[in-house]
Copies of this chain bind each other. A is one copy, B any other.
């Protein structure tokens, strides 16, 4: 690979001149003729600035880390796309990391930051992660922005409008005439689950509808968790006529299990999920869902990280624009008894 020195030699100038021209420094003070010779030489040699050299000198990598608990998740890919688009526009690169590694996540983050591989990162901690190990990293003033998660005392976060999303989903069932509305939620310690819960409760309260507290399960967000939730809810008496599922993966599992159990959707049970994704429209019946703006969250998170890196400003943001959006498909209908 060609270096600055090679280009300089070919153009008959010094390395500094080349560096200044190619990184177009504001006060390069180079004549038009020389500039042209340099640019030509660089093109002819197909020069590209060496990443390590630049990073070493400038102490900047122009890379932001994106660490999420589970890459497999269909929802995550949207977030990733948003993050990439924003990064690219601003001259950064995204380095993807898993936090579901052997180590509970802290080690990956410490490496990325500690070895100087990234300038900052967007971090989504899973529900299973103890915040304890991360505490020192965050207090170390590293440019870390939390995504859809929270660690007490940390400033710098970007989250979905979970509250609003769950509210819309619940209101949809209310408007269809349901009153026995269950809620298949995530684990109690989950940050997002807490927020979705308040949305659900607020919607019910707003309609002056009361349900037994067993109507809320707090099992988790996986496909299997959804299957379990279905069994728990349908064992209740009276059975719910509608269920708000806090996560699309769990909804897919719940739907599959309902079919196995001979429960017809939407005739016997209406199902609405928070989160839309391409999996939701390809289930049977296609799932009515509240589309959450993961793409925008990805963009916003990266923007926030970069702002933190470049100006030091921090902020806690909730993505409300565009707002969560109800996508009506075929898994919801009015209750039969109504």
Of A77-85, A122-130, A147-155, the one contacting chain B is A77-85
Q: Considering the complex, which residues of chain A in the window 268-311 have a beta carbon less than 8 Å from any beta carbon of chain B?
A: 278-279, 281-284, 286
- Tell whether, in the assembled complex, residue A72 and residue B61 are in contact, meaning their CB atoms are under 8 Å apart: no
Whether A1 sits at the interface, judged by CB under 8 Å, is: yes
Q: Which residues of chain B have C-beta atoms less than 8 A from A81's C-beta?
A: 71-72
Q: Which residues of chain B have C-beta atoms less than 8 A from A323's C-beta?
A: none
Q: Which residues of chain B have C-beta atoms less than 8 A from A111's C-beta?
A: 48
Q: How many copies does the complex hold?
A: 2
- Tell whether, in the assembled complex, residue A282 and residue B51 are in contact, meaning their CB atoms are under 8 Å apart: no
Q: Considering the complex, which residues of chain A in the window 50-85 have a beta carbon less than 8 Å from any beta carbon of chain B?
A: 50-53, 55-56, 61, 71-72, 74, 77-78, 80-81, 84
Q: Which residues of chain B have C-beta atoms less than 8 A from A61's C-beta?
A: 51-52
- Tell whether, in the assembled complex, residue B51 and residue A115 are in contact, meaning their CB atoms are under 8 Å apart: yes
Whether A259 sits at the interface, judged by CB under 8 Å, is: yes
- Select A114's contact among B46, B71, B93, B96, beta carbons within 8 Å: B46
- Select A95's contact among B78, B95, B110, beta carbons within 8 Å: B95
CB distance from A298 to the nearest CB of B (A): 12
Given contacts A117-B51, A279-B282, contact A74 B71 (CB under 8 A): no
- Tell whether, in the assembled complex, residue B71 and residue A80 are in contact, meaning their CB atoms are under 8 Å apart: yes
Q: Which residues of chain B have C-beta atoms less than 8 A from A53's C-beta?
A: 52, 56
Cα(A115)–Cα(B256), bound, Å: 48
Cα(A96)–Cα(B66), bound, Å: 11
Whether A252 sits at the interface, judged by CB under 8 Å, is: yes
Whether A312 sits at the interface, judged by CB under 8 Å, is: no
Whether A223 sits at the interface, judged by CB under 8 Å, is: yes
Given A71-B81, A84-B98, 16 further pairs, Cβ under 8 A: A1-B114, A48-B115, A50-B56, A51-B52, A51-B116, A52-B53, A52-B61, A55-B55, A71-B77, A71-B80, A72-B81, A223-B282, A255-B282, A256-B281, A256-B286, A283-B284
Provide a sorted-by-A list of 9 A–B residue pairs whose CB atoms are within 8 angstroms: A53-B56, A56-B56, A71-B77, A72-B81, A74-B74, A84-B98, A96-B96, A283-B283, A284-B284
